[in-house]
Structure 1
Amino acid sequence: MSKMHVTTTVNGDEAEFLADPRETLLDCLRDHLGLTGSKEGCGTGDCGACSVTLDGELVCSCLVLGVEAAGKRVETIEGMANGNELHPLQRKFIEHAALQCGFCTPGFLVAAKALLERNPDPTETEVRYWLAGNLCRCTGYDKIVRAVLDAAADMRKEAA
Structure 2
Amino acid sequence: MVKLTINGVAHDYDGDPATPLLWFVRDELGLNGTKYGCGAGLCGACTVHIDGVAVRGCLTAVSEAAGKSVTTIEGLSPDGNHRVQVAWRELNVPQCGFCQSGQIMQAASLLTENPSPTDRQILDGMQGNICRCGCYQRIVSAVRHASTGA
On whether the aligned pair clears a TM of 0.5, the verdict is yes
- 2:25 matches 1:29: yes
1:119 CA displacement: 0.8
- 2:41 matches 1:41: no
Q: How does 1:96-135 map to 2 (within 5 A)?
A: 96-135=91-130
Runs of 4+ in 1 over 3 A off after TM superposition: none
1:14 CA displacement: 1.5
Match of 1:145 among 119, 136, 140: 140
Count, aligned residues: 150
Moved more, 48-57 or 118-127: 48-57
1:55 CA displacement: 2.1
Rate the CA distance shift 1:33–1:23 in 2: closer, same or farther, 3 A.
Answer: same
For residues 86-126 of structure 1, give each alpha carbon's deviation from its aligned partner in whole angstroms, at most 9, with x where no partner exists: 11111111111111211100001000000111111000110
User: Which residue pairs with 1:20 in the alignment?
Assistant: 16
Q: Distance in 1 between matches of 2:103 and 2:131?
A: 9
Match of 2:67 among 71, 75, 85: 71
Report which of the two structures shows the higher radius of gyration computed on alpha carbons.
1
* Superposition CA RMSD, Å: 1.5
For residues 60-101 of structure 1, give each alpha carbon's deviation from its aligned partner in whole angstroms, at most 9, with x where no partner exists: 0100111221111111111111x4351111111111111121
Moved more, 13-22 or 130-139: 13-22
- After TM superposition, the score normalised by the length of structure 1 is 0.88
Q: Secondary structure at the match of 1:133?
A: coil
Q: Structure 1 unaligned runs (5+)?
A: none
AA in 2 matched with 1:116? L
Q: Distance in 2 between matches of 1:51 and 1:128?
A: 17
CA contact (8 A) 2:40 2:58 kept: yes
Q: Distance in 2 between matches of 1:19 and 1:80?
A: 26
- After TM superposition, the score normalised by the length of structure 2 is 0.93
